[in-house]
Structure 1
């Protein structure tokens, strides 16, 4: 994708729309879009949707809460994610969307959505489909708490954005205003622990009465900049 054609925020929203449609079989509401990107009002979400509509990627059905329809380029991305063969015209659009690579997320500001535009340092040329499942972004690792899982300081972990993950998965989690990469362990329906892969660090036990906890995504791969 030519980034002069779509801004980083517009590209992130288009990816969110295609992924949401793929996972739920329907488009998100404006409120769900606000929650995902930290917009303060549905009007802010509507402005970005209108920009995508003007660029021929979506259609907006007025008066409907879920009145967002993906057009040719976005539908081609859905076809690629589902493993179907897209038409030649649509296939070109799908390839152009992946050509932008993946956004590289650096330091995440307290309380801000992880894909907020100020967090995007650059775009890495690796295709989202190089990972299974498809990755949504790369997060730069700080610290050595996961070295025994092969994740070193400065590595870029490929992340699939999702609020759910099985016990044992390596995840990106938000605890209050801090984002961390750890292994998720669920002891039961109420007990969540985050384990480092380095004995120098202690596990983090989540107390829901004291901390706000949210899963930002699951690690689906890794890019080592010195070898990429």
Structure 2
């Protein structure tokens, strides 16, 4: 336990961390309230504000899931001794990762094709819940309420499989999109996190799952 946090704050912090590890996104205030038995989301908001004042999280205004774990918080957790509470996070490499930044993707070509790489960035592995393979520049606001905004750099781990609720990078014909994955029986859907956008039913042809979102970079690399 972080000695600077009260037991309730630690409980909320752990809930946020587990949600990010499991789905790639933090919980909403309503989800925190429901899980911990608060009477209203306002109680969750008060605890989140306290965590932000103590410097262990960052709150992004205007989004229901705008909660971020700070990089130094993740690094401190990973330095915990072996007998401490176990975290399902990878041990970061001592060296920085060098990741390609993917810009616009040409129709029909692999997402990591050389012509798509805008730049290479050296970043700390401690920023991410799993080791990513590349950064993808986000276009548009369809994932706004998950805290993913236009121009953000999404860290992506290549995979062809996903669990319900995870945020994925998918190819639909000639387009690459970031959405939340949901499978129901024989049907699969790509769900936006913005009511201005419609869910996309995954077609049987012309679709491929490119990867999972494992983190987000904003500001420092976007200049």
TM-score by length of 2: 0.55
Q: Structure 1: which 5+ residue stretches go unaligned?
A: 1-80, 85-93
Out of 168, 187, 190, the residue aligned to residue 191 of structure 1 is: 187
Partner of 2:129: helix, strand, or coil? coil
Residues 117-162 of structure 1: CA deviation (Å, up to 9, x unaligned): 1111001221345312111110000001000000000000000011
Matched, 1:176 2:173: yes
Matched, 1:201 2:188: no
**Contact preservation (8 Å) 1:158, 1:222:** yes
**Contact preservation (8 Å) 2:169, 2:178:** yes
**Contact preservation (8 Å) 2:90, 2:129:** no
CA 1:219 to 1:204, structure 2 compared with 1: closer, same or farther past 3 Å? same
1:130 match = 127
2:111 match = 114
**Contact preservation (8 Å) 1:174, 1:215:** yes
Matched, 1:142 2:130: no
RMSD after superposition: 2.3
In terms of fraction of residues, the more helix-rich structure is: 1
- Does 176-185 or 128-137 show the bigger shift? 128-137
1:213: how far off?
Answer: 1.1
Structure 2: how far apart are the matches of 1:82 and 1:169? 18
- Which structure 1 residue ranges, 4+ long, deviate > 6 Å from structure 2? none
2:219 match = 225
Higher relative contact order (CA 8 A, sep 6+): 2
Structure 2: how far apart are the matches of 1:192 and 1:149? 20
Structure 1: how far apart are the matches of 2:143 and 2:90? 32
1:177: how far off?
Answer: 1.5
CA 1:104 to 1:227, structure 2 compared with 1: closer, same or farther past 3 Å? closer
CA 1:129 to 1:226, structure 2 compared with 1: closer, same or farther past 3 Å? closer
1:219: how far off?
Answer: 0.2
Out of 207, 210, 214, the residue aligned to residue 216 of structure 1 is: 210
Structure 2: how far apart are the matches of 1:137 and 1:203? 26
1:100: how far off?
Answer: 5.7
